[in-house]
Amino acid sequence: MSTLVGGMMPHGHHHHNHHPGGGQQCAGDSLPPRFPYGRPDFLELTPELLQYSTEHASRPVLTLKRGSRLPWKTGYAEVINAGKSMLNEDQASCEKLFVKKPSGKHRNSTLLEDNGVSQVQDGTGIPMHFWGVFDGHAGSGAAIVASKLMHRLIRDRLGEICHLLENPNSAPPICLAKNGNPYQVDAKKGPSQESEDPDAVCDSTLRFHMEKTVSLESLVMGVIETAFKQMDDLIEKEKASYAISGGCCALAAIHLMGKLYVANAGDSRAIIIRNNEIIPMTNEFTPESERQRLQYLGFLRPELLGNEFTHIEFPRRIQHNELGKKMLYRDHTMTGWAYKTIVEDDLKFPLIYGEGKKARVMATIGVTRGLGDHELKVYNSNIYIKPFLSCVPQVKVYNLDENKHGPNDVLVMGTDGLWDVTTDREVADAVSAYLSCCDPSDPMRYSLAAQDVLMRSRGVLKERGWRLPNERLGSGDDITVFVVPEHGCP
């Protein structure tokens, strides 16, 4: 993510970039990294190629080797930034897994204890596919950890409701016994106080009271939301033992039982292209889009602003000699603007400041959701940013089974480096045009499409930097793209 962390400072408009070199040298200096830096395993990079991939001057585009295969023939391409950080802070993962009941042995184990291998993968269970894109900032540690562990965490959480997934036609029970099993309520006998199982009375005595019906789909959504939170907690916990630098936006697509769940926390983006029409699967979470949530927190918990910031938004900085004048402002309840008389407190730096890609929370960070960042503070202060960040994704569901898809219908997932310079429409047109010219039997066609659309955002190196064909500036950011065909799914 380009210049995501750093920006205007409270006192005197200085510009500052945290950890300007990127990399992992910042957090817990004496601790080993949780995972060594690298690119996604599926790229099968040799050490030489890994070195080559970091050349900021040439910015080589990496894609799958001919012959190597991702599930569903998924296409992939990535490129490093133009120099803002030493390493590529984006990460990605693509996995096929199987959801099954936790076995007795592993029942109480955690990801941490068993190094992420909490289940035997023997091909039995409910198949699940996972695609993840993680856009790191202020180091690559959090993005790497998330790319290694997120899919396992989600699989394990789904495993806990495996017995419910196996009966997709009955709504999930509201209450489970202590052992996790649903109560056995005998519909014919009706509520019975003589039941052998003392738990059995639970649902039946209450069945005449108000009860909400919860769908299996919203249970899966809840599992994914909870897993993001657990991923974030895990990063915090592991920081006691490992160096895990920075934070990351997380975008994940999960295919389970005919439905595609797209979960987004940050400013990456996913769209479905169907018959050249665009179905947006994400909203972006930025200081501007989450302004009211952040202001509300600052309003209710002013101590989090450390006497340096005000939760009120102003269209520009206020000068001391403007005290007593009237200035446009917005508080946490407002969408429009009004005038207020400037008082001493308004001279503090605004919690949200800047516009578009330059908007920052407390002059520090340009996204408001993601994983990690537990140690991130406002420059030269003891004010933590983390309370204002959310690790909870927005989950949208697309019913893959209920729609027909041709070979050119795809899900495109990309980090903001892709979308900052290329619109949804341009991406959709480019992908559709490319795929319709491409041999339908070429197993590389989706990777070639991913490369093609990535190049449109990176551009080519000219005398005056990376340029697009129309001479606009290309993206100097790390870029990662998945192109996932939708007709190939099982």
Nearer of residues 209 and 464 to a copy of itself, judged by Cβ: 209
Q: Is residue 395 close enough to count as binding a copy of itself by CB under 8 A? A: yes
DSSP secondary structure letters along 138-173: SSSHHHHHHHHHHHHHHHHHHHHTHHHHT-TTSPPP
Least spacing, CB of residue 322 vs a copy of itself, in Å: 6
Per CB under 8 A, 322 contacts a copy of itself: yes
Q: Specify the stretch interacting with a copy of itself by CB under 8 A; choose among 49-57, 350-358, 416-424, 446-454.
A: 350-358
Is residue 50 at the binding interface for a copy of itself, with CB under 8 A as the rule? no
Residues in region 158-187 near a copy of itself by CB under 8 A: 160-161, 172, 174-178, 180
Query: Structure tokens of 58?
Result: 């040439």
Contact present, 417 and 82 (Cβ < 8 Å)? no
Residue 150 touching a copy of itself (CB under 8 A): no
Q: Is 316 in the site for a copy of itself (CB under 8 A)?
A: yes
Q: Taking CB under 8 A as the criterion, which residues in 212-251 touch a copy of itself?
A: 212-214, 217-226, 229
Residue 11 interacts with a copy of itself (CB under 8 A)?
A: no
Instruction: Give Cα 362 distance to the centre of its chain.
Output: 21
Q: For a copy of itself, give the closer residue by CB, 313 or 420.
A: 313
Token code pair at residue 149: 């562990």
CB nearer to a copy of itself: pick between 124 and 179 = 179
Q: Are 225 and 392 in contact (CB under 8 A)?
A: yes
Binding mask 274-313 for a copy of itself (x = CB under 8 A): ----------------------xx--xx------------
Q: Is 124 strand, coil or helix?
A: coil
Distance of closest approach, residue 173 Cβ to a copy of itself, in angstroms: 8
Report in angstroms how near the CB of residue 228 gets to a copy of itself at its nearest.
9
Which stretch, 53-61, 80-88, 328-336, 420-428, contacts a copy of itself (CB under 8 A)?
A: 328-336
CA pair distance 272, 201, nearest whole angstrom: 46
Interacting residue with a copy of itself among 324, 343, 382, 464 (CB under 8 A): 324
Distant-in-sequence, close-in-space partners of 437: CB < 8 Å, separation ≥ 6: none
Q: Are 482 and 450 in contact (CB under 8 A)?
A: yes
Q: What angle do CA 447, 225, 282 make, to 5 degrees?
A: 45
98 or 299: whose CB is closer to a copy of itself? Answer: 299
Amino acid (one-letter) located at 47: P
Query: Residues in the chain, how many?
Result: 490
- Site size with a copy of itself, rule: CB under 8 A: 66
When asked if residue 330 is in the footprint of a copy of itself (CB under 8 A), the reply is yes
CB 325, CB 319: distance < 8 Å: no
Q: Which of 126, 162, 202, 278 binds a copy of itself (CB under 8 A)?
A: 202
CB atoms within 10 A of CB 207: 10
Interaction between residue 320 and a copy of itself (CB under 8 A): no
Q: DSSP of 61-104, one letter per residue?
A: PEEPPTT---GGG-EEEEE--SSSSSS--EEEEEEEEEE-PPPG
Give the integer Cα–Cα distance in Å for 393 and 221.
10
Rank residues 227 and 448 by Cβ distance to a copy of itself and give the closer one: 227
206 belongs to the binding site for a copy of itself (CB under 8 A): yes
Q: How far is the CB of 110 from a copy of itself (least distance, A)?
A: 16
- For residue 26, the minimal CB distance to a copy of itself (Å) is 28
Quick check: 326 binds a copy of itself (CB under 8 A)? Answer: yes
Q: How far is CA 206 from CA 13, 138, 175, 202, in A?
A: 61, 52, 11, 7
Q: What are phi and psi of 169, to 5 degrees?
A: -90, -5
Q: How many Å apart are CA 458 and CA 359, to the nearest integer?
A: 23
Cα-Cα-Cα-Cα torsion 37, 39, 40, 41, nearest 10 degrees, comes to -80
CA 110 to CA 156: how far, in whole Å? 9
Q: Which C-beta is closer to a copy of itself: that of 64 or that of 158?
A: 158
For residue 350, give the DSSP letter: E
CA distance 90 to 147: 10
Which residues pair with residue 114 across a beta bridge?
none
Q: Does 199 bind a copy of itself (CB under 8 A)?
A: yes
Q: How far is the CB of 132 from a copy of itself (least distance, A)?
A: 19
Question: Using the rule CB under 8 A, is 319 a contact of a copy of itself?
Answer: yes
Q: List residues near a copy of itself by CB under 8 A.
A: 8, 13, 160-161, 172, 174-178, 180, 198-199, 201-202, 205-206, 209-214, 217-226, 229, 296-297, 300-301, 314-317, 319, 321-322, 324-328, 330, 333-339, 353-355, 358, 390, 392, 394-395
